[in-house]
Chain A
Amino acid sequence: MQPLDAIMFLSGMFTGSVYAGGITAVMLNIPGSPGAVATTLDGYPMTKQGRQNEALGAGLMSSVIGCLASYLVVFFIIQSMGNFVLLFQAPEMLMLAVFALSIISMIKGNLSKSLIAGFLGLLLGSIGATAYGRERGTFGQIELYEGIQIVPALMGLLAISELFYLVQQKFIVGDNTTHIQRSFKDFVKGCMLVIKQKINTIRSIIIGIFIGVLPAAGATVASLVSYSQAQTFSKNKENFGKGEDSGLIAAETANSSSEGGGMATMLTFGIPGGSATAVLMAAFMIHGLTPGPYLIRDHMDMTYAVIIGNIIQAFLLLFIGFIFVWYFSKLVLAPARLIIPIVAIFSLLGAFSVRGIYLDVVLTLGFAVLALVMRKLDYPLIAVLLGLILGATIDGEMTRTLLIYEGQYLSLLERPIFTTMFIITIILFTLPWVQKRWAKRKQKRNEGGVS
């Protein structure tokens, strides 16, 4: 096999899997990958409302446009990407993770419950070895030294816990499926939503590429930040989490466009943006191509071939994705008694497959019970997940920042990117509280006027 054949095959797998993670997120509330967590927030409620064709269409079109746009941008900037990425050091990465965490304050419902759930997630995320190599919260379990893996948490909190509720119904969409049909018209309607929501799509592409370019940030952070921004600028804020299509579009577009950004960092600097690009980088090396400045200097033709190949992939994804989801959308018509055991087995196998450790299966079941209790008490599950996913990054980057700036914390404010992100994060965290107070005051004034 020629090097480019192999690289294009693997990068095709990368593109296909990034997209497909969103299909199960929409249909079953199971994110195929952590990057699809934000997709579940509005994608699954859309399916429950019988709008799965629309959701799948919007998901596919968002992924295609996100992927296509990101590689087009990379095509033009790859030679002059310059040193911008290098401006992001520990303090900026810390602020980026905290910034992504600000989505907690926007989750519908009780703000204090969201914050408590978020802190629980952060606590769980801090389990494992510290930056100094000390154990924390492992209770002597060597398997917990690497911390709690995201996949068991995803499977337990979202997939298995959903099954407890699904068992009470005949189908995912309720007990009646006579009104549910595969509809090409609705699918196209979903695709068109992405084109209609130009500003949301463009904003999500920019967020996706920007965060994708940063090493170690990746698709998960990109989709979460994009989702929170879509909510902030939306006129239908209260619909988010209840099946708002702009939330789904923002999450899926950013998730896919972060792929191009990650690939750009890998090709130009030889730094993988996430685990998938790390494995892809190893594949490049196996075939005699070392990503980094020398690849750009010595094999620019190959670099262009990879980028153009990925642009072709985006077009092909539209057709392949459509064929796949056309048959996959039939899943809503499958009886729950059939879906429940299959999803349970795949979820537990998925959790086990990450490290091949039985503790991950136990953790999955533990997270499922935690989710059940939290749902009963009306605590948002997504806040725990956010804390868990971002906890390890915050922990590591904070330790590094504290070490670098020991005793001179005020000089952190001399870093323009850090300071800007710090201010925006504070605004985002306090915005819901201020809005609530403002609405109350307005209501009181109106009541006073009436009396």
Chain B
Amino acid sequence: MIDVPALMDGLQIVFSWQVLLFIILGLVVGVILGAVPGVSGALGIA
């Protein structure tokens, strides 16, 4: 079951240029780190 009011609030929070920018930044850093042998996601996040 979906909690519609919470979903609307969630959509409002996530669709901001700031969040989208951080998502893109995270993906770029993650892809670069992930391609380095031995550097796992956990190590990168840590």
A contact set with B: CB distance below 8 Å? 2, 4-6, 8-21, 23-24, 30-34, 76, 79-80, 151, 155, 159, 274-276, 278-280, 283, 300-305, 307-309, 312-313, 316-317, 320-321, 324, 328, 343, 346-347, 349-351, 353-354
Asked if B38 and A347 sit within 8 Å, CB to CB, the answer is: yes
Instruction: Flag if A283 contacts B45 (CB, 8 Å).
Output: yes
**A305 touching B27, Cβ below 8 Å:** no
A279 vs B40: C-alpha distance in the bound complex, in angstroms?
12
Partner of A275, one of B3, B26, B29, B42: B42
Q: Is the CB of A321 within 8 A of B31?
A: yes
- Nearest CB in chain B to that of A317: its residue: B27
Q: Would A309 and B19 count as touching, CB distance under 8 A?
A: yes
Closest 4 CB pairs of A and B: A350-B38, A12-B26, A16-B30, A20-B34
Additional A-B contacts beyond A17-B33, A308-B14, A317-B27 (16; CB < 8 A): A4-B19, A9-B25, A12-B22, A14-B26, A20-B30, A20-B32, A23-B35, A24-B37, A32-B36, A33-B34, A33-B41, A301-B6, A303-B6, A309-B19, A316-B27, A320-B24
Question: Can you name the residue of chain A whose Cβ is closest to the Cβ of B5?
Answer: A301
Give the Cβ gap from A310 to chain B, nearest Cβ, in Å. Answer: 9
Q: How far is the CA of A346 from the CA of B33 in the complex (A)?
A: 12
Query: Contacts of A34 on B, CB cut-off 8 Å?
Result: 40
Query: Closest Cβ of chain A: how far from B29's Cβ, in Å?
Result: 5
Across the interface, do A32 and B37 meet the contact criterion of CB distance under 8 Å?
yes
Least CB distance, A345 to chain B, in whole angstroms: 10
Contacts of A313 in B (CB 8 A): 23, 26-27
Report chain A residues within 8 Å CB of B14: 4, 8, 305, 308-309, 312
The docked-state distance in angstroms from the alpha carbon of A77 to that of B41 is: 26
Let me know if A17 and B31 touch, CB within 8 A: yes
Contacts of B31 in A (CB 8 A): 16-17, 19-20, 320-321, 324
Query: What's the tally of chain B residues with a CB closer than 8 Å to chain A?
Result: 38
Q: Which of A17, A19, A159, A350 has the most CB of B within 10 A?
A: A17
B42 touches A4 (CB 8 A): no
Of A9, A303, A349, chain B has the most CB atoms within 10 Å of the CB of A9
Q: Which residues of A contact B18 (CB under 8 A)?
A: 2, 5
Cβ contacts under 8 Å, B19 to chain A: 4-5, 8, 309
| C-alpha spacing A32/B41, complex, angstroms | 9
Closest chain-B Cβ to A86's Cβ sits at a distance in Å of 20
A19-B34 in contact (CB<8A): yes
Give 20 pairs: A residue, B residue, CB < 8 Å, sorted on A.
A9-B25, A11-B26, A16-B29, A16-B30, A17-B30, A23-B34, A32-B36, A32-B37, A33-B34, A80-B1, A275-B42, A280-B45, A283-B45, A304-B11, A305-B11, A308-B11, A309-B19, A312-B14, A312-B20, A313-B26
